[in-house]
Amino acid sequence: MGFGTSFSKYSSFVPSNTISRTFPYGTEVEIFSFKALQKNWKESTSSYEKEHVTPYFYNHQDKFKIFNFQNKKNLSFLRWTIDKMNDLKLVQIFVTKIYSRPILLDDIINLLIREPSLIRINLDDEVENTFKNIIKK
């Protein structure tokens, strides 16, 4: 099943890539219908679940079909989220050096393969070595 127009038929289906992480941080996706969100609001007794929304789905798996989709290679050690100044610097470099739009995961990976020193901008040396080992496989 694709996640396009047919998704609206599955009000209890919650696809995500956050349960078992294989994508870089900053590329998290959790998809749910408005009906699922309404169910959360009506049935949740926790203010935390009402504020953060998705924990309700994971805490009530008897009511929702949770599906975790994974990347072919585990890239969860990479950070493309913007939490710190160095994160912002790295993303600005992605935008400057990658001309195609939209910028896709493969575009960034190819840039990092060509310029692995970019990984050091917001990560440590251990991550750079992990990346080199992953792209060899």
2 belongs to a structural domain: no
pLDDT value of position 130: 61
* 63 and 93, same domain (yes or no): no
Count up the domains in the chain and report the number: 2
38 belongs to a structural domain: yes
Q: What is the mean pLDDT of each run of 10 residues along the chain (137 residues)?
A: 50 89 93 90 91 91 92 90 90 97 96 92 64 61
The terminus-to-terminus CA distance of the chain in angstroms comes to 29
* 43 and 93, same domain (yes or no): no
From residue 97, give the alpha-carbon distance in Å to each of 62, 87, 118: 46, 16, 11
* 64 and 90, same domain (yes or no): no
Residue 125: strand, helix, or coil: helix
pLDDT value of position 126: 54
Which residues span the domain enclosing 57? 10-68
pLDDT value of position 81: 87
